[in-house]
Chains A and B, each alone.
Chain A
Amino acid sequence: MASKSKKAVALLLTAMMAAAAMAGCGDSSAPATTVTSTTATESGEEELTVINLDDEEVLTTIKNKMKEEADAQTGDKKGKVSLKVWCASTDLAFEQSLAKEFEEKFADSGYELKIRVSGAIGEDASGSKIIEGPEDGADVFNFADDQLSSLVEAGDIAPVAGYFLGNVKSENTEDSIDICTVNDEVYAYPKTSDNGYFLYYDKRFFDESDVADFDAMVSKAGQSGKSVFFDMGNGWYSTGFFFTAGCTVSYKDGKQTATYNSDEGLSAAKAMCHIAENTGNGFEGTPGTMGDNAYVKAGFEDGSLVAAVIGTWVGPDIKAAIGEENVGAAKLPTVLMDGEQKQLDSFGGYKLIGVNKFSTYSFSSQVLAYYLGCPDSQLKRYQTRGLIATSTKALEDDKLKADPALLAIEAQKPYAHAQGASVSGKYWASNIGGFGGEIVTEKGKLTDDQLKTKLKQIEDQMS
Chain B
Amino acid sequence: MTNTNDSMKTGYAQKRKAINTIVYIILSVMVVIWIVPIIWLILQSFNTEMGVTTKFFPSSFTFDHYIALFTDEQYPYGKWILNTFMVAALSCVISTLFILMVSYALSRLRFKVRKTFLNLGLILGMFPGFMSMAATYNIMDIFGLKQQLFALVIVYSAGAGLGYQVAKGFFDTIPRSLDEAAKIDGATRNQIFWQIILPLSKPIIVYTALTTFTGPWADYIFVSYFMKDNESNWTVALGLYKMLDKEAISTHFTTFCAGAVLIAIPITILFIIMQRFYVEGVTGGAVKG
Contact = CB atoms under 8 A, between A and B. Distances in A.
Contact of B250 (A129, A136, A294): A294
- Closest 10 A/B residue pairs (Cβ): A294-B250, A290-B52, A120-B229, A118-B229, A291-B246, A294-B51, A90-B247, A89-B247, A298-B51, A297-B250
B189 interface: no
Interface string B222-262: 00000011110000000000100111111001000000000
B177 interface: no
B231 A118 contact: yes
B2 interface: no
B9 to A, nearest CB: 55
Given A89-B74, A120-B242, A298-B51, A293 B231 contact: no
Interface in A304-347: 313, 317
A88 interface: yes
B74 A136 contact: no
Contacts of B74: 89, 92-93, 119
Contacts of A294: 51-52, 246, 249-250, 253
Interface residues of B, number: 20
Most chain B C-beta atoms within 10 Å of own C-beta, residue among A86, A92, A136: A136
B65 to A, nearest CB: 16
A385 interface: no
A122 interface: yes
A138 interface: yes
Nearest to B224: A120
A288 B53 CA distance: 11
Most chain A C-beta atoms within 10 Å of own C-beta, residue among B49, B147, B245: B245
20 contacts: A88-B247, A89-B74, A89-B242, A90-B248, A93-B74, A118-B230, A118-B231, A120-B229, A121-B229, A136-B146, A288-B54, A290-B51, A290-B52, A291-B250, A293-B246, A294-B52, A294-B250, A294-B253, A298-B250, A317-B250
A454 interface: no
Interface string A130-163: 0001001010000000000000000000000000
A291 B147 CA distance: 31
B229 A138 contact: yes
Contacts of A122: 245, 247
A33 to B, nearest CB: 39
Interface of B: 49, 51-54, 74, 146-147, 228-231, 242, 245-250, 253
B96 to A, nearest CB: 32
Interface of A: 84, 86, 88-90, 92-93, 118-122, 129, 133, 136, 138, 288-294, 297-298, 313, 317
Given A120-B231, A121-B229, A294-B51, A89 B250 contact: no
Contacts of B54: 288
B101 to A, nearest CB: 36
Nearest to B74: A92
Most chain A C-beta atoms within 10 Å of own C-beta, residue among B49, B230, B247: B247
A121 B228 CA distance: 8
A84 B53 CA distance: 36
A79 to B, nearest CB: 21
A293 to B, nearest CB: 6
Contacts of A298: 49, 51-53, 250
Nearest to B243: A89
A155 B259 CA distance: 40
Contacts of A313: 247
B241 to A, nearest CB: 11
Given A89-B74, A93-B74, A298-B51, A290 B229 contact: no
Given A294-B253, A298-B250, A317-B250, A86 B229 contact: yes
A86 B228 CA distance: 11
A250 B23 CA distance: 60
A332 B235 CA distance: 43
Contact of A293 (B146, B229, B247): B247
A143 to B, nearest CB: 14
A42 B276 CA distance: 82
A89 B75 CA distance: 10
A31 to B, nearest CB: 38
B52 A297 contact: no
A259 B84 CA distance: 50
Nearest to A91: B247
Given A93-B74, A120-B242, A136-B228, A290 B248 contact: no
B226 to A, nearest CB: 10
A120 B234 CA distance: 11
Contacts of A89: 74, 242, 245, 247-248
Contacts of B242: 89, 120
Given A120-B231, A136-B147, 13 more contacts: A89-B242, A89-B245, A90-B248, A93-B74, A136-B146, A138-B229, A288-B54, A291-B250, A293-B247, A293-B249, A294-B51, A294-B253, A317-B250
